[in-house]
């Protein structure tokens, strides 16, 4: 029997706890959480006997740690930890869409330079296996268009505003209470969070790096009660839609509220659910739907990446075929 691989975990918030709870349900996976790095080790943590530290070097410099899992909300610190872990020969799994989306040039270099795997399924779409699908079945096809709901928090808020006539403020508080929105929801409601995910999808769809600074981005805060009444009168819903389209080799990216009708695949995707539609030149349209926010769906994506790491899986980040 193979010895269990040792994990160094950064972060024990909503996603970190979700990963921990998911991992307990998979005793067949030959891994053990050896150390957990958090900001504060004085906080009471009940129901487990994990070793906590606030010194990242206890994980990064420990030769016994095989895999680093980064689940913190500090993008700058995450970037440092991920690069150092890879440099020290450790596989890395991350859910940090902000860090990855804003550092794709470095991420691309890490894929090329370092031997260990760097995987981040949980950074896009929560429990939807979109990155793996782009890197697998869809890799050898030309992707024409990607369109979807990529932020569960904003979708939850818009759903409550439209179905139950809640105010924006009430819907936001409820989303935060249920763990769908962060304490500081700015990235979610502004469309920036979805734009980071769109940048990552562009990288895997086209093998190209596109900064969200060039995207057309609009917040759900611009959605008024009058907009909601208008949509309802026309039998439509308002969704924060992320779109990535390639026309004549030019990639166009946007994240903005849109009216969608019953014939749209995004129409019935409500609450914290996400949906991603991928149009490929050969196999046509593929629609992925699933939980896009919350501890357990995101934690499940980390588990799947963990299984892939144990199988020495690496992303194929070469330029994709162009058949136009």
Return the pLDDT at 318: 61
Write the DSSP string, 267-307. Answer: TT--TTEEEEEEEETTTEEEEEEEE-SSHHHHHHHHHHHHH
Which CA distances in Å does 138 have to 82, 149, 250, 284?
Answer: 27, 19, 20, 10
Annotation says 197 is catalytic: yes
Domain extents in the chain: 5-129+296-310, 132-292
Q: What is the mean pLDDT of the chain?
A: 93
Give pLDDT tens digits for 205-255.
988 899 998 999 999 999 999 999 999 999 999 999 999 998 887 889 999
Tokens found for residue 184: 């500081």
324: confidence class by pLDDT, cuts 50, 70, 90: very low
Dist. CA 209–CA 102, nearest whole Å: 10
The catalytically annotated residue of 17, 79, 98, 197 is 197
- pLDDT at residue number 319: 54
CATH class of 132-292: alpha beta
User: pLDDT for 149-205, tens place per residue?
Assistant: 999 999 999 999 999 999 999 999 999 988 788 888 999 999 999 999 999 999 999
Q: Which CATH architecture has domain 5-129+296-310?
A: 3-Layer(aba) Sandwich (3.40)
Rounded-to-integer distance, Cα 164 and Cα 94, Å: 36
């Amino acid at each position: 029997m193979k010895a269990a691989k040792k994990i160094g975990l950064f972060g024990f918030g909503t996603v970190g706890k979700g990963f921990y709870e998911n991992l307990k349900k998979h005793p067949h996976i030959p891994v053990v959480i050896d150390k957990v790095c958090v900001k504060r080790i004085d906080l009471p943590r009940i129901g487990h006997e994990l070793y906590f530290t606030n010194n990242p070097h206890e994980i990064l410099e420990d030769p016994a740690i095989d895999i680093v899992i980064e689940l913190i909300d500090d993008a700058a610190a995450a970037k440092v930890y991920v690069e150092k872990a890879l440099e020290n020969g450790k596989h890395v799994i991350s859910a940090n869409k902000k860090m990855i989306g804003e550092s794709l040039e470095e991420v691309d270099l890490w894929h090329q330079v370092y031997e260990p795997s760097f995987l981040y399924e949980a950074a896009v779409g929560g429990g939807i296996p979109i990155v793996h699908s782009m890197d697998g079945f869809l890799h050898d096809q030309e992707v024409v268009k990607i369109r979807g709901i990529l932020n569960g928090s904003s979708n939850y808020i818009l759903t409550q505003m439209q179905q139950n006539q809640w105010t924006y403020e009430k819907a936001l508080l409820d989303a935060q209470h249920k763990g769908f929105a962060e304490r500081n929801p700015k990235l979610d409601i502004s469309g920036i969070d979805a734009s980071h995910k769109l940048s990552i999808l562009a990288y895997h769809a086209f093998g190209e790096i596109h900064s969200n600074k060039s995207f057309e981005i609009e917040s759900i805060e611009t959605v008024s009660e009058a907009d909601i009444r208008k949509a309802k009168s026309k039998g439509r819903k308002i969704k924060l839609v992320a779109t990535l389209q390639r026309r004549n080799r030019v990639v166009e990216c946007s994240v903005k509220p849109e009216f969608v009708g019953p014939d749209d695949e995004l129409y019935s995707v409500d609450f914290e659910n996400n949906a991603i539609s991928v149009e490929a030149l050969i196999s046509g349209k593929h629609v992925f739907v699933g939980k896009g926010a919350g501890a357990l769906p995101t934690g499940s994506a980390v588990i799947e990446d963990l299984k892939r790491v144990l199988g020495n899986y690496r992303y194929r980040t070469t330029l994709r075929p162009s058949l136009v």
